[in-house]
Amino acid sequence: MKPYIYSILFFLSIQISVAQTKEVILKKSYKVDENTIFELDLDNVAIVFEESFDDKIHFNYYMEFINYSDRKIKDLLGEVNVKVDRNNNNLKLGVKNSMLIGVNRKTLFSMDSLKSAIKESMIFYRNRKFLYKSKDSLLKQIRTSVGNDLQDYLFKNKKKYENEEFIKNQKKIKKTFIIKLPNYIRMNFKVLHSDITFNYDIKERVIFNSFRTRLKFKKLISRENKFQLINGFLYTEEIAGGFYKLKGVHPFRVGSISNSIIDLETSKMEVGEIKKNTSIKDFSSKVLFYNFNEDFKNFSFEGDYSKIYLYKVKKANYTMDVFGYNTVLKMDNNTTTFGDSKDKKLTKILQKKQKEHIKPSGNVAIELKNGIINLID
Amino acid sequence: MEHDIRDLFRENNDANIEIPKNHRAEFLDKLKYQHKKQNGFQRKSMFKIAASIAIILVCSVYYFYVNNQVEKTPLQIQVAAIEKEYLINIDKEWEQFIEVAEDSVLVNKYKIKMHDFDKDYQKITKELQKSPNNIYMLEALINNLQRRLELIKNIKEHIKELNQKNTSNETIYL
């Protein structure tokens, strides 16, 4: 009986080893201190950052190939380029992968189902009403989101669109790259078409330049942060300082924001709560401000071809001045256009005065050219 | 049967015949003619060889071209159809946007945006040629087209909203 069982086990082990192969790409640790600068030059890679508590940066990068032949695995590994350089107290990670071997996506759909899902999601998002969200509900959305609006839609409706036969026939590569590092490390990022997730609050300054990258952070605390993002999306639970230039970032969801300067262009921004001293400049974005903090002091917004949504304005305890030209105000089911586009002079469209005997929580100053402002109760 | 070679010369009358005066010129003419004939023959054969090589080359190029045209997979055909549909819609939306937009600065900004999207699209297409059935790259391609389409639709609708007629210059107080 025994040899029989052994032969079955042996046979199964061969089957499993053929079906799934794990390849370690990088497994190294480096001692660091508070003066270490970590530079990352990334192209087509998905990385999860976690906090370490032993004054070391740990790299752990591996891939699991399912249903691939050894030869194909060898070919694919040829498309992975990773190197780590240490120069004085600078640690540099360079990753340059092909798109094929780069980021992880959940493949649940055939091309047919993906096509209909895209069309239906577009109709869904076009017809939705921009309803009020509390800060907590937006935070929940940020934490549970799996990707951009389309990916969230696909994930929520996967039973409708997933195609089992297609899934069965797909070969898979599971890519795992985890970097553990102390929270005092300063980082410079240059990123292209990648997925970056931080599972801890970043206290030190981060310089971030990215193109078509998906970013998910907890808290961004430093006032010295400098972000320049083109395309992709940005989810963060809190921004507590810094300068952020976002172009085509769709969506940019932030739980709360303070002490920051935001420069937007053709993006979609949702803010759970506006806190102290924030200013935003925009060209042609859709911006939703759900709540204002009880002591936000000042908030300013300057926009050209912007579309703004403000909620519960009448009940709110802040003062507000809206100036603009060629701007549409939508309120109480009425739509009115203010100012002439020819003379391009700003006129006062709306003023919200201080409530009697109540100290205002702050002042909102809005300047809109060719804009649309929606006041929703 | 022994012969004296001198008797043989004496018997041969040919040796006494006088050579005609224009013999040399005639000889040279014949030589030239022969040379020409030979050159013509060489040219003809060279031409034949070249023509054969050309025919072989054309046939091989055609053969390799036909054989290298790998048949498109059903997935590629579907993607091509989707691409075509998107590009037609993008063009249509763009035309409508141009019709309603009066601000040349706005139009130029959006032109640049479309150009940027197109550059990215070309890069994705190149990558896609390397691995035509990769669903991640197909998704990236469709995302690019989708974002372009949405962007133009949004700005077009924005301008339409701005152009509505109910105007006012009085400040609203809350």
Query: How does pLDDT run across A269-293, given as a tens digit for each residue?
Result: 999 999 999 999 999 999 999 999 9
Asked if A364 and A222 sit in the same domain, the reply is yes
Share of chain A above pLDDT 90, in %: 67
Query: Which of A105, A283, A370 has its CB closest to that of B162?
Result: A370
Q: Is residue A6 part of a domain?
A: no
Asked if A182 and A298 sit in the same domain, the reply is no
Mean pLDDT of chain A: 89
Asked if B79 and B158 sit in the same domain, the reply is yes
- pLDDT class of A111 with cuts at 50, 70, 90: low
Q: Is residue B108 part of a domain?
A: yes
CB contact at 8 A, A256 and A236? no
> If you average pLDDT over residues B139-156, what whole number do you get?
90
> If you average pLDDT over residues A117-124, what whole number do you get?
80
Q: Please say which residue of B69, B101, B131 terminates a domain.
A: B69
Maximum mean pLDDT: which of A4-8, A125-129, A269-273, B144-148? A269-273
Asked if B90 and B116 sit in the same domain, the reply is yes
Q: Is A337 on the interface with B (CB under 8 A)?
A: yes
Full domain range(s) for residue A44: 19-104+171-200
CA dihedral A6, A11, A13, A16 (to 10 degrees): -160
Q: Is A150 on the interface with B (CB under 8 A)?
A: yes
Q: Considering only CB atoms, which chain B residues are within 8 Å of A99?
A: 124, 127, 134, 136-137, 140
Asked if B97 and B40 sit in the same domain, the reply is no
CB contact at 8 A, A245 and A225? no
Asked if B62 and B83 sit in the same domain, the reply is no
Full domain range(s) for residue B153: 72-162
Measured distance CA(B156)–CA(B96) in Å, rounded: 7
pLDDT at A351 > cutoff 80: yes
Asked if B58 and B94 sit in the same domain, the reply is no
pLDDT at A338 > cutoff 70: yes
Cα separation values, A145 from A180, A253, B10, B80, B137, Å: 23, 11, 125, 30, 21
- Split into its structural domains, chain B has a count of 2
Q: Is residue B172 part of a domain?
A: no
Mean pLDDT of chain B: 81
Q: What is the pLDDT of residue A63?
A: 94
- pLDDT class of B64 with cuts at 50, 70, 90: low
The minimum CA-CA distance between B66 and chain A, rounded to whole Å, is 27
CB atoms B127 and A313 under 8 Å: no
Q: Considering only CB atoms, which chain A residues are within 8 Å of B85?
A: none
Q: Name the strand (E) or helix (H) holding A355.
A: none
Q: Is residue B3 part of a domain?
A: no
CB contact at 8 A, A217 and A183? no
The minimum CA-CA distance between B69 and chain A, rounded to whole Å, is 23
Asked if B79 and B65 sit in the same domain, the reply is no
Query: Which of B127, B150, B166 has its CB closest to that of A335?
Result: B166
Single-letter code of the amino acid located at B166 = N
DSSP-assigned letters across all residues of A272-331:
EEE-SSEEEEEES-EEEE--B-TT-EEEEEEEES-EEEEESTTT-S-EEEEEEESEEEEE
Asked if A28 and A116 sit in the same domain, the reply is no
pLDDT tens digits, one per residue of B3-17: 666 665 566 655 556
Single-letter code of the amino acid located at B72 = K
For the ranges A43-47, B66-70, B109-113, B125-129, which has the lowest average pLDDT? B66-70
User: Alpha helix (H) ranges present in B69-134?
Assistant: 74-100, 104-130
Measured between CA atoms, the residue of chain B closest to residue A250 is: B147
Q: What is the pLDDT of residue A136?
A: 97
For the ranges A111-115, A360-364, B107-111, which has the lowest average pLDDT? A111-115
User: Alpha helix (H) ranges present in chain A?
Assistant: 2-19, 70-77, 111-127, 135-144, 149-156, 158-161, 164-169
Asked if A126 and A236 sit in the same domain, the reply is no
pLDDT at A153 > cutoff 70: yes
pLDDT tens digits, one per residue of A171-226: 788 899 999 999 999 999 999 999 999 999 999 999 999 999 999 999 999 999 99
For the ranges A86-95, A138-147, A357-366, B68-77, which has the lowest average pLDDT? B68-77
Share of chain B above pLDDT 90, in %: 29
Give residue ranges of B with CB < 8 Å to any A CB.
75, 78-79, 82, 102-103, 106, 109, 113, 120, 124, 127, 130-131, 134-140, 142-143, 146-147, 150-151, 154-155, 158, 161-162, 164-169, 171-174
For the ranges A34-38, A68-72, A347-351, which has the lowest average pLDDT? A68-72
Q: Is residue B13 part of a domain?
A: no
Q: What is the pLDDT of residue B141?
A: 87
Q: Considering only CB atoms, which chain B residues are within 8 Å of A116?
A: none
Q: Is residue A3 part of a domain?
A: no
Measured between CA atoms, the residue of chain A closest to residue B166 is: A336
Q: Which residue has the higher pLDDT, A16 or A345?
A: A345
Q: At what angle do helices B104-130 and B135-162 cross, to 10 degrees?
A: 170
Asked if A243 and A360 sit in the same domain, the reply is yes
- Split into its structural domains, chain A has a count of 3
Asked if B147 and B90 sit in the same domain, the reply is yes
CB atoms A313 and B166 under 8 Å: no
CB atoms A328 and B174 under 8 Å: no
Q: Is residue A324 part of a domain?
A: yes
CB contact at 8 A, A311 and A330? no
Residues 44-63 of A with CB under 8 A from B: none
- pLDDT class of B27 with cuts at 50, 70, 90: confident
Asked if B80 and B97 sit in the same domain, the reply is yes
Q: Is residue B109 part of a domain?
A: yes
| Rg over CA atoms, chain A | 25
Asked if B78 and B117 sit in the same domain, the reply is yes
Strands A37-43 and A90-96 come out as: parallel
Query: Which of A122, A283, A372 has its CB closest to that of B161?
Result: A372
Asked if A257 and A222 sit in the same domain, the reply is yes
Asked if B91 and B50 sit in the same domain, the reply is no
CB atoms A372 and B174 under 8 Å: no
pLDDT tens digits, one per residue of A280-329: 999 999 999 999 999 999 999 999 999 999 999 999 999 999 999 999 99
Asked if B26 and B46 sit in the same domain, the reply is yes
Q: Is residue A351 part of a domain?
A: yes
Measured between CA atoms, the residue of chain B closest to residue A348 is: B171
Query: Which of B142, B162, B169 has its CB closest to that of A118?
Result: B142
CB contact at 8 A, B111 and A77? no
Q: Is residue A304 part of a domain?
A: yes
Asked if B91 and B59 sit in the same domain, the reply is no
Q: Which residue has the higher pLDDT, A369 or A154?
A: A369
Q: Is residue B129 part of a domain?
A: yes
Asked if the peptide bond before residue A251 counts as cis, ω within 30 degrees of 0, the response is yes
| Rg over CA atoms, chain B | 43
